[in-house]
Amino acid sequence: MLTVEHLTKTFPSGKGIADVTFSVRRGEVFGFLGPNGAGKSTTIRHIMGFMKPDRGRAIVNGMDTWLRQGEVQSAIGYLPGEIAFIDGMTGRGFLDFLSGMQRTQDRARRERLIERLQFDANTPIRKMSKGMKQKVGIVAAFMHDPEVVILDEPTSGLDPLMQKVFVELVLEEKARGKTFLMSSHSFPEIERTCDRAAIIKDGAIVTIADIHELQRMQRKLFEVTFETADEAAAFAASGLQVDSLEGNRVRIAVQGDYGRFAEETTKRRVRNIDVFTQNLEEIFMDYYDRKGTGA
């Protein structure tokens, strides 16, 4: 449904993307992960046909997005990373205008989306908060019922409740066979929705992996507080990867092998368990480290 082949673009500054290749199947949610400035947005700009690739191409729905700009867009819904509307309009005015440009007249779907995201569409855009603008952007990306939805940092500015609503929306649309490409630098957001994800760094794809594989890659730190220091010491000696031991508190690093951790924990009297999830940067570091030592 969406294919990127050997996409290469070098900017005068020397930065850019090199030989980016991946493909997203129909009905799949594909995550696009990477730190800021890694080339996520540049790749998306090529997929949207805003830039001409030096080499390679992006194909959506069987059409080259640069050569058939203006045609391929009827199948695409797009949420830009930085939303900029047109001056002097209300949210509803802007959505009306976009509907006109998209040549769709189905307002029912749009009204349902507005209701779901709970915002007052009649607010002038210049008076809107960042989160509210983001909601208008999400409605604009979904309202014409596109086959492919491209979302650049979709949940930035949304509160946790709305992030949840958004994730539900993505999963529903996925169930209807829609295809997604979603860029993010937040792993939990990708984890809840995506089937596969590509990790990009310095303009090149580092890996494309199944989301379960990425989850296994992710290291979690558990801080377990036991009733006594003895139990803590015994636990620490049980062969798990110990990060730190302090009185009756033990920090354990777990990667994939949750069963064993649970087994060792339940043998003793536990007072409290805290979880520290690694952020994306740390996962990258781990990944690169392992690549470095494994080679």
Partner 1 sequence: MSAALYKQMMRVNLKGFLNYAVGSAFYILLMFWLYPGIAQNARALDDIVATMPEGVGKAFNLSGFGSAEAFISGEYYGLILVLILAIVSVQLSTQLMARLIDRGSMAYLLSTPTTRVRVATTQACVLVSGLLIILGATTLAGFAGKAWLLGDRYAFDAGRFILLNAAAFLMFFAVAGIAFLVSAASNDEKKALGLSGTIVFGFYSLDLLGKLGDSIAWMRDLSIFSLYRPSDIVGDGDFPALGFALLAAIGLAAFVAAVALFKRRDLPL
**Number of residues located near partner 1, criterion CB under 8 A:** 29
Does 84 sit near partner 1 (CB under 8 A)?
A: yes
**Cα separation, 295 vs 290, whole angstroms:** 8
Shortest spacing between CB 46 and partner 1, in angstroms? 10
Q: Does 69 bind partner 1 (CB under 8 A)?
A: yes
CB 58 within 8 A of CB 65: yes
CA distance 287 to 200: 12
Identify which of residues 60 and 280 has a Cβ nearer to partner 1 in the complex: 60
* Stretch touching partner 1 by CB under 8 A, among 66-74, 110-118, 190-198, 262-270: 66-74
Task: For the CB of residue 70, give the shortest distance to partner 1 in the complex, in Å.
Answer: 3
Q: Is 206 buried (19+), middle (13-18) or exposed (0-12) by CB count in 10 A?
A: middle
Structure letter (DSSP) for residue 75: G
Segment lying near partner 1 (by CB under 8 A), choices 15-23, 81-89, 230-238, 243-251: 81-89
* Through-space distance between the first and last CA atoms of the chain, rounded to whole angstroms: 35
Which member of 3, 8, 102, 255 binds partner 1 (CB under 8 A)?
102
Closest listed residue to residue 152, CA positions, set 76, 230, 86, 220? 76
Distance (Å, whole) CA 244 – CA 148: 47
Residue window 126-145: x/- pattern of binding to partner 1, with contact defined by CB under 8 A: --------------x-----
CA distance 45 to 267: 54
To 10 degrees, the CA torsion angle through 78, 79, 80, 82? 160
Residue in 34, 49, 91, 154 binding partner 1, rule: CB under 8 A: 49
Identified binder of partner 1 from the candidate list 13, 14, 36, 87, rule CB under 8 A? 87
196 binds partner 1 (CB under 8 A): no
Tokens of 280: 């994306």
Which of these segments, 27-35, 100-108, 111-119, 239-247, binds partner 1 (CB under 8 A)? 100-108
Residues forming the site for partner 1 (CB under 8 A): 45, 48-52, 69-71, 73-74, 76, 78, 80, 82-89, 97-98, 100-103, 140
